[in-house]
A and B are shown apart, each in its own frame.
Chain A
C-alpha cells in the first residue's frame, strides 16, 4: 500500500501541493497518513475528503485514513462532523473519537450536498449560529445573516447544477490574531465533479478556440457570468456572491482543474489568477469574510 503523508497544515493556503501529490501518486491502494496534522480548516477538510473520493474512484479499494495523533485536532474534526463524512469514502485505521454531545462552536459542520433538500437543510441549520458569529464576532449588521444564507445557497447550488456529482460544504470562524489581527469566517465548498471547463465547453468553448482551458472557463463564469444554460436568468449566483463578498471586503476564489481565479482585497496576497496548478477534478470555492474594522463603520 502506498503511503501519502498529509501535511501538518492543511488549509486554503497549503492544499494545492497535497492535491498534486494525490493525483500524481501511482495507481493502487493508498493510505493517507494524517498523524502529523496539526491545523486544518474547512478548505483542508473538504480537500481531504475530495482526495479520498479521487483515490476511491480510480481504485478497487477505498483509501485508508490514519487519523491525527493530536487529540485537539481529532476532537475538532469530530465536532466538524468530518469522521461521519470520512466513513462514506475512506477506511479508518482506528475508530474516530466520539463526537461530543454538548454545545458546539461550529458554524456549519461538514455537510454533503447531493440534492436540493440538502441546500435547504444547511440554510436552515446555519441561521441561528451564523447570526451570532456574523453580528458578534465579525460585527456585521443584523441583515448579514440573510445575505450570508443567500451566498450559502448559491454556492451549494453550484455543485448541484454544474458538478453532476455530490460535494460538501463547511464553515467556521477563526481568530487570525497574528496574521490579520481580526476574526475571519471561512466558507468552503468542493466537489469532484466535472469542473467548470467541462461544464461550459459544449456551450462556450467554440468562441475561445485554442484558448479554451480551465482558466478561460473560470474567467467566462467568474467574470462574465456565463453558464451552460441558454436561459438568461442563469449565471447570476457567482456574480451576486462576488458583489456581496466585495462589500464585506472578503475573498472569493474558485479553483477548477488546473486554475484558480479570485477577487482579492488588499489584506490578502492571493494572485487574481493562477494557472498550471496540479490538476484536480471538480471545483473548489473558498470564501473568506473578515471581521469588520472599526474605522469603516
Chain B
C-alpha cells in the first residue's frame, strides 16, 4: 500500500494499493494458477481484494493488474471485475463511492469477457492495456456524453474545482460529471471539488 502524503493543493488524499492478481491467487487460493477460471477462484480473488481494501483508509484507489493472467473466463471476470465494481457503487456498501478501481495489464483476450460482464451489469471501468505507456480507456456501458466528459478529464488529468463550470459549460455535461463520479469513474475531491482522472491519481503513486 502506498499512502499519499499530507497537504498540498494537488494531493487528493487518496490511498492506493496495487493488486497483482497472480500474487493474490498465490495467497488466497490453495494452488497457483495463472488461469483465472471458475467462479470460486474469482470469488476468492475478489474477497482477497476486498479484505485488503478493509485494511486501508478511504477513499482508496485499487489497481488490479491482470497482466499475468493467461486465461480469464466469464465467471471469473464477473467476480473479479463486475462484482468488485458493484461493491464500489452499491449504496448499501460502506465502501460505496469511496473505492476506485483501475484494471491494468489488459491483453486482447481479457477484453471480451470483461466487456461482456460490464455490459451485462450496465457497468463501466477504467482500464489500461498491458504496458505502462498505453492510454487509459473507459470500457463498458456508457453514453457518448459520458465518454466525452470522461475524456476531457482524462486528457487534463485534473480539473480544479473552480474551473469545472468553465470546462463543462453545459448543465448536461455537469450532470454527467456527477454521474461519472458516482460510478467511480473519476474522483471528485470532497472538499475542493477538483476532478481527478483515475489515471492521474495512479501516476502520482508510481
Contacts and interface: CB of A to CB of B under 8 A. Distances in A.
Interface of A: 116-117, 119-120, 123-124, 143, 146-147, 149-150, 153-154, 157, 160-161, 232-234, 236-237, 240
B160 interface: no
B70 interface: yes
Contacts of B146: none
B31 to A, nearest CB: 6
A274 to B, nearest CB: 27
Q: Ordered nearest first, which 5 A-B pairs have the shortest CB separation? A: A233-B78, A153-B37, A146-B109, A153-B73, A149-B71
B73 A116 contact: no
Main secondary structure of the interface of B (DSSP, over half): helix
A123 B109 contact: no
B75 interface: yes
A148 B95 CA distance: 37
B78 A124 contact: no
25 contacts: A116-B40, A120-B33, A120-B41, A123-B35, A123-B37, A143-B108, A146-B70, A146-B71, A150-B72, A150-B73, A150-B74, A150-B113, A154-B74, A154-B75, A157-B39, A157-B73, A157-B75, A232-B120, A232-B121, A233-B79, A236-B75, A236-B78, A236-B117, A240-B113, A240-B116
A147 B109 contact: yes
A160 B31 CA distance: 19
A237 B75 contact: yes
A4 B132 CA distance: 64
Given A143-B108, A236-B74, 20 more contacts: A116-B41, A120-B33, A120-B38, A120-B41, A123-B37, A123-B71, A143-B109, A146-B70, A149-B37, A149-B71, A150-B37, A153-B37, A157-B39, A232-B120, A232-B121, A233-B83, A233-B120, A236-B117, A237-B75, A240-B113
Contacts of A146: 70-71, 109
Contacts of B82: 233
Contacts of B78: 233-234, 236
B35 A124 contact: yes
Given A116-B40, A233-B82, A153 B71 contact: yes
Given A120-B31, A150-B74, A154-B75, A236 B116 contact: yes
A161 B73 CA distance: 15
Interface of B: 30-31, 33, 35, 37-41, 70-75, 78-79, 82-83, 108-109, 113, 116-117, 120-121
B120 A116 contact: no
A60 to B, nearest CB: 35
A31 B22 CA distance: 49
B74 A237 contact: yes
Nearest to A154: B73
A236 B117 CA distance: 9
Nearest to A118: B38
Contacts of B117: 233, 236
Nearest to B75: A157
Contacts of A147: 109
A113 to B, nearest CB: 11
A209 B150 CA distance: 48
Nearest to A117: B31
Nearest to A149: B71
A97 B71 CA distance: 36
Contacts of A153: 35, 37-38, 71, 73, 75
Contacts of A161: 39
A124 B41 CA distance: 14
Contacts of B40: 116
A37 B120 CA distance: 47
B30 to A, nearest CB: 8
Contacts of A240: 74, 113, 116
B117 to A, nearest CB: 6
Nearest to A147: B109
A296 B9 CA distance: 59
Given A154-B74, A240-B116, A124 B109 contact: no
A163 to B, nearest CB: 15
